[in-house]
Amino acid sequence: MRPVKDGYTPPVRPPFTPEATIGPFYPGAFVADMPQDLWTVAPLVAHHPQGRPIVFTARFSDGPGRPVPSLIVEFWQANAHGRYRHPNDRSNAPLDPQFDGFARLRTADDGTLRFSTIRPGAHPVGAGLIRAPHLRLTVFASGIDRLTTQVFFDDEALNASDPVLNSIADPHIRARLVATRRTPVTEPGAAIEYALDVVLRGDAETPFFDDWLP
């Protein structure tokens, strides 16, 4: 940085590498070699992560309402205690030896995916703010660059004060990030299913976030 005469330092724009679409041919091996089911830690293993098992189902569609097949979603979430397995998360909430929080899935020909995981815990952020339980999604598909969004649960009281959800002023648009509980009554321990339609473009477009550094 080179200060000019009045002491003002112009912002330096690093030579960032531009993003591009993932295209139609992202190798299946790259999906298969990452976790896809965070409830099942390994085949035939009796251990499970702590917390309530859930199944999140989503249907991805485009502007004309057609399903988007072969779309890649990377999920990232806190464990049941609201702790991320991430070097920057210095909270005192415990890690869960059975839970890493990252999964990578591909949509089927009908644009749907089904993700078995646990309901994440709430966690503090910034000055006195509480993040409601949510899943973080990074979305890749042919024709689009990387998209990110966050998904909430409709039976969660903390949604009312979540700072990210409520940064979207229009309640109708905000509601597009809230997954609907599909399981009215469950036996103890059974997974609760939540469903969400994700619309990439059009009148019912899902809100996506800009996570580039300011």
Partner 1 sequence: MKDQRSAGRVLSVVLNDRESEARTPSTRLYRIPDDAHDPFTPHPPGPALRPGENDLTRIAPGRPRAAGEGVVIEGRIVDADLRPVRRTLVEIWNANAHGRYSHVIDAGRNDAPLDPHFYGFGRLLTDDDGRYSVRTIKPGAYIARRDIDWWRPPHVHFSVVGSGVRLVTQMYFPEEPLNEKDYIFLVVPEQDRPRVIGRPDAPLAGDRVFRFDIVLRGRFQTPLDADLDHG
Site for partner 1 in 145-204 (CB under 8 A): 145-147, 163-164, 167-168, 200-202
Closest CA to 102 of 91, 112, 93, 115: 115
Is 35 a binding residue for partner 1 by CB under 8 A? The answer is yes
Among 37, 59, 102, 108, binds partner 1 (CB under 8 A): 102
Closest CA to 64 of 178, 199, 168, 179: 199
Q: Which stretch binds partner 1 (CB under 8 A): 1-9, 30-38, 111-119, 152-160?
A: 30-38
Is 14 a binding residue for partner 1 by CB under 8 A? The answer is yes
CA distance 144 to 182: 30
Residues in a beta bridge with 37: none
CA distance 58 to 41: 22
Instruction: Restricting to residues 112-131, name those near partner 1 by CB under 8 A.
Output: 125-127, 129, 131
- Compare residues 72 and 192 and give the one whose CB is closer to partner 1: 72
Q: Which residues of 40-59 are buried (b: 16+ CB within 10 A; e: fewer)?
A: bbeeeeeebbebbbbbbebb
- Compare residues 150 and 179 and give the one whose CB is closer to partner 1: 150
Q: Cβ 186 to partner 1, closest distance in Å?
A: 28
Q: Which stretch binds partner 1 (CB under 8 A): 51-59, 60-68, 114-122, 185-193?
A: 60-68
